[in-house]
Amino acid sequence: MLDSSLTRALRRVPVDAVLASTRLYSSLPVVGKHLEPFAGLTAMALWGGPYAPATLRAAVGRRTAAAAAQAAAAGVAGVEAAQVRRLPPFARARAQRKAYLHQGSIRYGDSPAQLLDVWRLPELPPGPAPVLLFVPGGAWVQGTRVLQGHTLLAHLVKRGWVCLTMDYRVSPLHRWPRQIADVNAAIAWARANAHQFGGDPDFVTIAGCSAGGHLAALAGLTPGDPEFRGELSEDADTTVDAVVGIYGRYDWEDRSTPIRRSFQNFLERVVVGRRQSRHPEVYAAASPLARIHRDAPPFFLIHGEQDTLIPAAEARQFHDALSEVSANPVRYSEIPWAGHAFDLVDSSHARRCAVETAEFLTEVRNRHLDRVTSTAV
């Protein structure tokens, strides 16, 4: 027993030393802000080992199965004949950004990392446009608006929406709850400033992928929570009218399996900096599954059937629990053959996600306009 404890302790030392070094060089004046992404990548490399083999096997399996299905549909014998190469969404991101970016690198706070872009058409339809804030993923150690969500944003922009996509401060330099505080700051900015870009400050929605899905869900469920407000004033409005969670993680408490324990250890040592056993209230407060309530805004959850990083069963569990309590619509869509980050690598999955999200948000928007009209009458 002693030998195994000593072995575990020795194994921790190099990891802790590396993490400490990333926080040190990320906090350096002038150059530190440019080194923050490397700190996040280092943290993901240290903790991504348990997921890598399963993720690789699943990716290969999905590609083979999808090719076989395409071959069968085309009436062609053999998988090789069906290898129709489609440009992955991340490869089109630059063109989409060029086409729809209205104004870039707008500050929504005082930190250099608190930046967002505004996407919209040059000419908007009559009336204030609905607003979506997109929160990128990256395991709470990467929070960049580069590449992520572009298919969804472009689809909504073409339908007359004003879309915002944000950066936020991340661990290990910035510990939790800095990430959610920045998301709330961006929501408050949208409420106060969307009208300057043709947006409707009375209708602001939020969406996010992976860690961004967690942050979007948590923000939607906890408006006004003083622990998550950061530097915001008490009167800042952080409510949202709808939430879209795309392959998000909605449980920050479960330690029931080896993979879940590994994830919780990652949160403890990299993201939060405090042990769950000593501070369970921190993890409960940060867990959307534990923050469900009747007045939750409308929710749409979309997940890949073959996600090995965040299994679809976790999204189903969150959907079922929220559906039982919420007075507003809660919907769930599971995409066959899709894995984690499907909207970055597969065009058909990305398009489906964008279309279904737009349909859901449009329904919520129409109900909002009906309420406004009936109130005015």
Q: The domain 89-376 is classified under which CATH number: 3.40.50.2300, 3.40.50.1820, 3.40.50.170, 3.40.710.10?
A: 3.40.50.1820
Residue 69 scores a pLDDT above 50: no
Detail the DSSP E strand segments found in 180-226. Answer: 199-209
Residue 26 scores a pLDDT above 50: no
Burial readout 240-271 (b: 16 or more C-beta within 10 A, e: otherwise): bbbbbbbbbbbbbeeeeeeeeeebbebbbbbb
**Alpha-carbon span 294 to 255, nearest angstrom:** 27
210 catalytic? Reply is yes
Query: Do residues 114 and 169 make contact, with C-beta atoms less than 8 angstroms apart?
Result: yes
**Alpha-carbon span 13 to 9, nearest angstrom:** 7
Nearest to residue 191, comparing CAs of 214, 167, 168, 164?
Answer: 164
Cα-based distances in Å from 113 to 99, 109, 153, 175: 24, 8, 21, 14
Residue 29 scores a pLDDT above 50: yes
Residue type, 173: L
Query: Do residues 217 and 290 make contact, with C-beta atoms less than 8 angstroms apart?
Result: no
Q: What percent of the chain has pLDDT over 70?
A: 77
Structure-token pair, residue 309: 């990083």
Q: Which of 117, 182, 307, 346 is catalytic?
A: 307
What is the residue whose two structure tokens read 């306009």?
A: 369
Q: How high is the pLDDT of residue 70?
A: 47
Helix (H) or strand (E) holding 134: strand 129-135
Residue 5 scores a pLDDT above 70: no
Average pLDDT, the chain: 84
Query: Do residues 33 and 113 make contact, with C-beta atoms less than 8 angstroms apart?
Result: yes
Q: What is the mean pLDDT of residues 72-93?
A: 57
- Dihedral sign computed on CA atoms, order 275, 276, 281, 286: positive
Q: How high is the pLDDT of residue 109?
A: 95
Higher pLDDT, 27 or 235: 235
Q: Which of 150, 319, 340, 368 is catalytic?
A: 340
Confidence of residue 85 (pLDDT cuts 50, 70, 90): very low
Query: Do residues 296 and 328 make contact, with C-beta atoms less than 8 angstroms apart?
Result: yes
pTM of the model: 0.84
Residue type, 350: A
Q: What is the mean pLDDT of residues 308-325?
A: 97
**Alpha-carbon span 73 to 292, nearest angstrom:** 43
Confidence of residue 144 (pLDDT cuts 50, 70, 90): confident
Q: What is the mean pLDDT of residues 330-354?
A: 95
Q: What is the mean pLDDT of residues 325-348?
A: 95
Q: What is the mean pLDDT of residues 85-110?
A: 89
**Lowest-pLDDT choice from 109-113, 193-197, 372-376:** 372-376
β-pairing verdict for 162-166 and 199-209? unpaired
Residue 23 scores a pLDDT above 80: no
Cα-based distances in Å from 70 to 66, 67, 89: 6, 5, 19
Confidence of residue 30 (pLDDT cuts 50, 70, 90): very low
Confidence of residue 341 (pLDDT cuts 50, 70, 90): very high
Residue type, 101: L
102 catalytic? Reply is no
Own/partner contacts of 51-59, CB < 8 Å, gap of 24 or more, are 51/259, 51/308, 51/309, 54/308, 55/308, 55/309, 55/339, 55/340, 58/306, 58/308, 58/339, 59/339
Q: How high is the pLDDT of residue 31?
A: 46
Residue type, 335: I
Q: What is the mean pLDDT of residues 133-155?
A: 93
**Alpha-carbon span 260 to 14, nearest angstrom:** 22
Burial class for 131, CB neighbours closer than 10 Å (0-12, 13-18, 19+): buried
Tens of pLDDT along 174-224? 999 999 999 999 999 999 999 999 999 999 999 999 999 999 999 999 999
307 catalytic? Reply is yes
Structure-token pair, residue 12: 């921790």
Burial class for 168, CB neighbours closer than 10 Å (0-12, 13-18, 19+): buried
Q: Which of 210, 287, 346, 349 is catalytic?
A: 210
